[in-house]
Amino acid sequence: MKPSCVEYLICIGCGKGALALAVEQEESGEVLEGALTCSCGTSYPIIGGVPRMLSRKLLDEMLAEYGKAAPKGRLTDPDDVQAVQGATMDAFGFEWRHYADYDAHNYENWMPEGFDPNTGFRGKLGLEVGCGAGRHAERTAGSARTHFAVDLSYAVDAAFQRTRHLPNCHVIQADAFNLPFENCRFDYVYCLGVLQHMHDPPEGFRHLARQVRRDGILLVNVYQASRPFTTGLLEALRKITTRMPPRALNACCYLAGTMDYLICATWRGAEALGLSRLIGPFVPGRVKEYAKHTYRTVVTDWYDRLACPVKIHYQREDLVGWYEQAGYKNIRVTPYWKAFWNGFGEKA
Ligand SMILES: C[S@@+](CC[C@H](N)C(=O)[O-])C[C@H]1O[C@@H](n2cnc3c(N)ncnc32)[C@H](O)[C@@H]1O
């Protein structure tokens, strides 16, 4: 954690800023171990270079993961929400620590048409919610003034390692429903491939929408409800896979990914032989899409779709409605292939 990030953070319990920083271990200006403490008595540990700004029960769960004891605090969550969020922390924590080098090279593809992420974030203060292993954060921090990358899960360990060389990039473990920032703080907020994994996505969207300053922008990307047959089959399979231990599921994903990759490689071979016009009409779009990706991406995406506790698909109108209800203008929602809706809006 770079000490310069403290000026932006507030206590998620009482909403006050001016958190006191206690440093236990520092390396090249980066606080690796320590704590942030609020005058209300709530303390947030810094572990492995990342402030852990979670509510009481999630914090206890997180501390057990790192073999540490709980500090003082007074924040609580209703149990059912906590169960979903705990499972989300575990599933994505395993995924992004195991596949920390993931990059499907779809940064531009996940932005709505007409928005160029290479120039759109330049010189701005921004927040990314659900940063995973930090692949987008790494790109955005290259042009933004200051970029905060937040994730609920232990993915933050991978994101921190990936971005720690960037002086303007700050990684925080926090929940979209309990963000440690004042409202209307950011020039941009984005949340890519995340809302569909939350226990209450529309409410999650409202929390993001509050973080944007007037005339600032909010970019989100969610799964499309465009392929009911495939989604239905997958949901049936997920009833088993979401209950499997991570290592066993991961082994299955290597198997599924290998078969999938071989099919994609066959299509690539056919293209190279000039047969694409002949057999192209019989090849599913999904195969053509995944043929652009690496073996590791194909395997990671199998883990991603089979492990996450929650996976919800949306219509374009859902996303437009969320922006409208949050008081956004110049709303654009455009598709990326048949898989995603990419949304854009400016805060009125
Ligand atoms: C499919 S991954 C996408 C990661 C990243 N955006 C990317 O595209 O590589 C979804 C991420 O959202 C995070 N997430 C889920 N619920 C969250 C919440 N309530 N608050 C913050 N992050 C959350 C998960 O931990 C996970 O890392």
Q: What is the pLDDT of residues 312-339, one digit of tens each?
A: 999 999 999 999 999 999 999 999 988 9
Going by alpha carbons, the residue nearest to atom 11 of ligand 1 is: 130
Q: Residue 311 Cα, ligand 1 centroid: separation in angstroms? A: 12
Is the residue at 98 inside a domain? no
| % of the chain beyond a pLDDT of 70 | 97
pLDDT at 74: 44
Are 301 and 253 part of one and the same domain? Answer: yes
Domain hosting 143: range is: 117-225+314-347
Are 140 and 260 part of one and the same domain? Answer: no
pLDDT tens per residue across span 246-303:
999 999 999 999 999 999 999 999 999 998 888 889 998 889 988 989 999 999 999 9
Is the residue at 93 inside a domain? no
As for how many domains the chain has, the answer is 3
Going by alpha carbons, the residue nearest to atom 1 of ligand 1 is: 193
pLDDT tens per residue across span 147-203:
999 999 999 999 999 999 999 999 999 999 999 999 999 999 999 999 999 999 999
Query: How distant, in Å, are the alpha carbons of 198, 200, 345 from that of 323?
Result: 17, 16, 7
Are 327 and 292 part of one and the same domain? Answer: no
Are 221 and 319 part of one and the same domain? Answer: yes
Could you tell me if 132 and 96 are in contact, meaning their C-beta atoms sit under 8 angstroms apart?
Answer: yes
Ligand 1, closest atom to CA 304?
Answer: 1
Are 294 and 318 part of one and the same domain? Answer: no
Are 272 and 320 part of one and the same domain? Answer: no
Ligand 1, closest atom to CA 93?
Answer: 25
Q: Residue 116 Cα, ligand 1 centroid: separation in angstroms? A: 22
Helix or strand run (H / E) with residue 22: strand 20-27
Is the residue at 85 inside a domain? no
Q: What is the pTM of this model?
A: 0.94
Are 130 and 218 part of one and the same domain? Answer: yes
Residue 83 predicted with pLDDT over 90: no
Is the residue at 94 inside a domain? no
Are 319 and 221 part of one and the same domain? Answer: yes
Are 184 and 331 part of one and the same domain? Answer: yes
Are 126 and 184 part of one and the same domain? Answer: yes
Is the residue at 238 inside a domain? no
Is the residue at 97 inside a domain? no
Are 165 and 124 part of one and the same domain? Answer: yes
Is the residue at 88 inside a domain? no
Q: Residue 191 Cα, ligand 1 centroid: separation in angstroms? A: 8
> Which residues neighbour 214 within 8 Å (Cβ) at sequence distance 6 or greater?
184, 347, 348
Query: Which residue in the block uniquely carries the two structure tokens 């997180």?
Result: 62
Beta bridge partners of 178: 175
Are 207 and 328 part of one and the same domain? Answer: yes
